[in-house]
Structure formats: C-alpha cells, structure tokens
Amino acid sequence: MKKTKSAIAFLIIVSILGASCSQKTDKNEKLIIFHAGSLSVPFKQMKDEFEKENPGVEVLLESAGSVQCARKITDLKKDCDIMASADYKVIDEMLIPDFTNWNIKFAGNEMAIVFHDQSKYAGEINTENWYEILLRDDVFFGRSDPNSDPCGYRTVLISQLAQEYYKIPGLSEIIISKNNEYIRPKEVDLLALLESGTIDYLFLYRSVAQQHNLNYLVLPDSINLKNPDLANYYKTASTNIVGKEPGTAITVNGEPMVYGITILQNAPNKELAIKFVQFILSDVGAKIMEENGQPLITPSSSETYSFIPEKLKIFAKEIK
C-alpha cells in the first residue's frame, strides 16, 4: 500500500512539474520586426529594455534596406509583426492596402557625407567642394542600392538637388555614374568598406554616422532632405525604382526624410506588436531615438488615422 501511495504521489508531482513547464513554455512569446538598417542601433537598445520589462518575450530583429524589407513581406510571404521603414512611403506604396491599412510617421533624419580620419582629403572637404573631392580619380565613395534601400534613392535625389544648388549642369549624372562597384544593398553594409579603407566616403544618414562615431559633413538644407519648410523644393527631384510587380516602376520624389512604422494585418502576435510600438513611441523610446540622432516627430499627421489601433492613435493626428 505504501508503495502504491508513493507511486501515486510521484506521478502527481511529475504531472504538476510537467504542467508547470508547459505553462512556462506557453508564456514564451516572439515578436518579429523587419526594420531599416539605419534603425539597427536604437532598435537593439529598445529590444534589450523591452525584454527586461517583459520576461518571456523574445524580440527578433531583422534589418535590411526598407524596400527589401517590404519585399520579404510581399514577395517571400515571410512572417512579420512590425515593419519600420526609413521612408514612410515604402509602407504606403508597397504594403497598403494588401498587407496593412495604416502607417505612423514617427522619426526624422538627414543625408550626410560620411568619412574617417584617413579618408583622402579629409582635412579639405567642406560644403562648397565636397562634390569636387568625390569626383577626383584617386577618391572612392559608396552608396546603397536605390532599388533596395531609401538611402540609395535619396542619394540620387540629393545629387539632383546639389546640381541645382551649385548650378552645375550634369553634376548629378557624373556623381551617380562614378564608383558603382561600391553600391551595396543597404547603407550599413558600406560601413565595413569605409572602416577598411576600401572607400573614402559614403552617402549615409547623419544618425548612423553619429551612432558609429564617424566624421560627417553636414550638407546645406537645400540638399540634405531634412527641412520640412523646403518640402516643395525637394519635390523638384525625382527618380524611379523597381515597383511591386515585375516590369513596373515607382517614381520617388524628394521630400523631408520621415520614417514610418506599421503592424501587419496577419501579424503572428498583434497585441504584443502594439505594446512594442507603444514602447518605441513612449518617453523611453523617444529618449533612445534622440540619443541616436533620430528624433521622434509624433504625433504626426496620418492619411490612415481611422485604421490605426486605438491604443496607438495618440501618436498620430487625423487630417481634417
């Protein structure tokens, strides 16, 4: 009888422990985020803070050029909860309405020319001669692929604005046709080329330069795509990138740099995604973004305000 009771007690304990382990496993949640490469540093910091505050949650970050991120969703049908783009229009034009129906404009940035101490003519470059230095035969510079990354097509746009600003016919074409062997899928891929001395300069977001403690040249507002007051002037520059369907193209016009964020309609973990977006746009997230050179611009106007989840509407403004 004692053996029978002992056996029963043992089975009960095993059952309880098994149930406990099962419950613990069930509580483990994963959040999948596709994001622009230029968000890698602040999002990694926010991932760490969010996971501390939410035990059992694992945030999976996957960075790429924003257009490439969108194509993982539209073409490869990969699971994704949150998409954060370096250009809010990537979400508008590639994901709405088939994959999501709203978009929050949440951060700003600006284009810059980035270099290191050993870059050729680093002691000479300034806002008046940068294009002359980049076009010298012994200077090599990199840029990202316009069809994969907003930083890439923004480089084309600022070359056009520079042509107008400096009144030099043909300047844009000359810049864009040089050193094409150093085009990479996303802007952060170019950092290794710069740090190894393979290239001397690269067109990059100012925030990424700050995050990596690199030298950078601040361009005039008429070129850098930063100033909202120059929105109409920026629109005079345009370029085409590959569209959603094979053989199609999307025309991209110049405009102030604005990042966008959304949650996918078929997000595997929608409630947790809402919680993480709240965290990004909270005071804690705002501080992290500010420290990394990407200040938040919320609440921002939204053409898709009515579709934004109720908990996130405080970060947007309805266009009347």
* Total-model pTM: 0.80
Low-confidence residues in the chain, pLDDT < 70: 1-27
Q: What is the pLDDT of residue 26?
A: 42
Who's near 246: CB < 8 A, 6+ residues apart? Answer: none
Q: What is the pLDDT of residue 20?
A: 42
57-71 per-position pLDDT tens digit? 999 999 998 999 999
What whole-number distance in Å separates Cα of residue 56 and Cα of residue 241?
Answer: 41
**Strands 82-85, 104-108: parallel, antiparallel or unpaired by DSSP?**
unpaired
Closest by alpha carbon to 256, among 240, 273, 239, 233? 233
DSSP H stretches of helix in the chain: 2-27, 40-53, 66-74, 88-94, 130-134, 150-166, 171-177, 190-195, 206-211, 221-224, 231-234, 270-280, 283-291
Who's near 290: CB < 8 A, 6+ residues apart? Answer: 296
155-212 per-position pLDDT tens digit? 999 999 999 999 999 999 999 999 999 999 877 789 999 999 999 999 999 999 998 8
Who's near 23: CB < 8 A, 6+ residues apart? Answer: none
Q: What is the pLDDT of residue 319?
A: 86
What whole-number distance in Å separates Cα of residue 164 and Cα of residue 222?
Answer: 9
Find out whether 144 and 152 touch, Cβ atoms under 8 Å.
yes
Domains and CATH numbers, the chain: 28-108+257-318 (3.40.190.10), 111-242 (3.40.190.10)
